[in-house]
Amino acid sequence: MCEANVYLYRDDIGKEELFMEQVDKVVPQNGELYLENIFGQRKTIAARIRELSLVDHRVILEIVKESEAG
């Protein structure tokens, strides 16, 4: 199985925090990201994709700052 763990890059501390495990689907929608994992759990977050590193099973997100929101 090739799902990935999704991490949130925290600009303020320069580190990544685990946001959701074993994610299958990631879909940008209305300026947010919709995530769904292999257990059927769903989350939506006002973030954008910062990097995919698929061989390492990693998806890195970063928060969309309010000042950038459309």
Binding site for its own copies (CB under 8 A): 1-4, 23-28, 38, 48-55, 57, 59
Q: Which residues of 25-62 are buried (b: 16+ CB within 10 A; e: fewer)?
A: ebeeeeebbebbbeeeeeeebebeeeeeeeeeeebbbb
**Distance in Å, CB of 43 to its own copies, minimum:** 14
**Distance in Å, CB of 17 to its own copies, minimum:** 20
Q: How many residues make up the chain in this entry?
A: 70
Nearer Cβ to its own copies (15/53): 53
**Distance in Å, CB of 26 to its own copies, minimum:** 4
